[in-house]
Amino acid sequence: MTQHLSSTQAIPEVSAIPRHVAIIMDGNGRWASKRMMPRVAGHSEGLSAVRKIVQECRRIGVEYLTVFAFSSENWRRPPEEVGFLMKLFLKSLKGEVSRLAENDICLRLIGDLSRFDSAIQEMVQFSEEKTAGCKALTFTIAANYGGRWDILQAMRRCLTANPNLKSEDVSEDLLQPHLSMAYAPEPDLFIRTGGEQRISNFLLWQLAYTELYFTDVLWPDFDQAELHKAFDWFSQRERRFGRTSAQLASQVMSDAV
């Protein structure tokens, strides 16, 4: 597996199109409530938005797309809504995996999957294996995932792999390979729909130098045009990674010579 550099240890390459996009898909329930529909109808409509965004990211050359489908805190929601989400998750995996493979899209799942029933776990394994050789886009779904859980499980794995590890020897290089998304570079762009402006325990380690874009658009209404608005905003950001604007300008001039 390729070792991706940490943005706190090295300066990653910058481009107008983000290499890795991470999204919190918020607003499904409110979208449905505004239309006097049950909340679960919003989740079904949100799945259509996922398809559109996956297709567009693949079309324009985004290499990694990661979406927050179900957090470790979402178990607190009403049981009937959680049950519907589990059924929708299983149905969408069954319905989409062949389409993903046909479009050269690799599917990955991150999170503590042990809490899901056996049918979902088996479908996850099948889907990952079926798309493992796909190269055009890596599409990651975070399910029963939490950023703090990710760091804790990485530390446990690190200690298991290095049983004689001393505290002074702990480093990013040692821990990073054990994080859930060690196979991907850190996100360049984070998008949250639905008007909230927080990261809600999503990719806490990985978002250290990610550009954060918030929009009031509810997730079912987030389409290709809204994605490009986010990309246009991203392309105007000055990504310094701890440097000054003068240093950045100097580097640009040096690269142009």
**What is the identity of the amino acid at 174?**
L
Does residue 12 lie in a domain region?
no
Annotated active-site residue in 26, 144, 150, 188: 26
Q: Is 149 annotated as a binding residue?
A: no
Q: Is 71 annotated as a binding residue?
A: yes
What is the distance, to the nearest Å, from the Cα of residue 198 to the centroid of all Cα atoms in its chain? 15
DSSP states along 96-157: HHHHHHHTTEEEEEES-GGGS-HHHHHHHHHHHHHHTT--SEEEEEEEEE-HHHHHHHHHHH
The domain tally of the chain equals: 1
Annotated active-site residue in 74, 103, 112, 223: 74
pLDDT (0 to 100) of residue 82: 82
Does residue 6 lie in a domain region?
no
Does residue 184 lie in a domain region?
yes
pLDDT (0 to 100) of residue 25: 96
Structure tokens at 68: 């927050």
CATH number at residue 71: 3.40.1180.10
Taking the alpha carbons at both ends of the chain, their separation in whole angstroms is 35
Q: Is 219 annotated as a binding residue?
A: no
Does residue 215 lie in a domain region?
yes
Q: Is 129 annotated as a binding residue?
A: no
Average pLDDT, stretch 195-222? 97
pLDDT (0 to 100) of residue 79: 84
Does residue 56 lie in a domain region?
yes
Active site residue 162: no
> Which residues 6+ apart lie within 8 Å of 109 measured at CB?
124, 127, 128, 140, 141, 142, 143
Q: Is 167 annotated as a binding residue?
A: no
Does residue 2 lie in a domain region?
no
Task: Please check the confidence at residue 256 and state whether its pLDDT lies above 60.
Answer: no
Structure tokens at 232: 């246009």
pLDDT (0 to 100) of residue 235: 92
Active site residue 201: no
Q: Are 117 and 86 in contact (CB under 8 A)?
A: yes
Q: Are 186 and 207 in contact (CB under 8 A)?
A: yes
Tell me, yes or no, if the pTM score tops 0.75.
yes
pLDDT tens-digit series, residues 174-191: 999 999 999 999 999 999
pLDDT tens-digit series, residues 16-65: 899 999 999 999 989 999 999 988 888 889 999 999 999 999 999 999 99
Does residue 188 lie in a domain region?
yes
Could you tell me which residue, 70 or 254, shows the higher pLDDT? Answer: 70
Average pLDDT, stretch 102-121? 93
Does residue 14 lie in a domain region?
no
> Which residues 6+ apart lie within 8 Å of 199 measured at CB?
24, 147, 190, 192, 207, 212
Q: Is 28 annotated as a binding residue?
A: yes
pLDDT (0 to 100) of residue 91: 87
Q: Is 30 annotated as a binding residue?
A: yes
**Range of 58's domain?**
20-256
Task: Please check the confidence at residue 248 and state whether its pLDDT lies above 60.
Answer: no
Q: Is 26 annotated as a binding residue?
A: yes
Q: Is 198 annotated as a binding residue?
A: yes
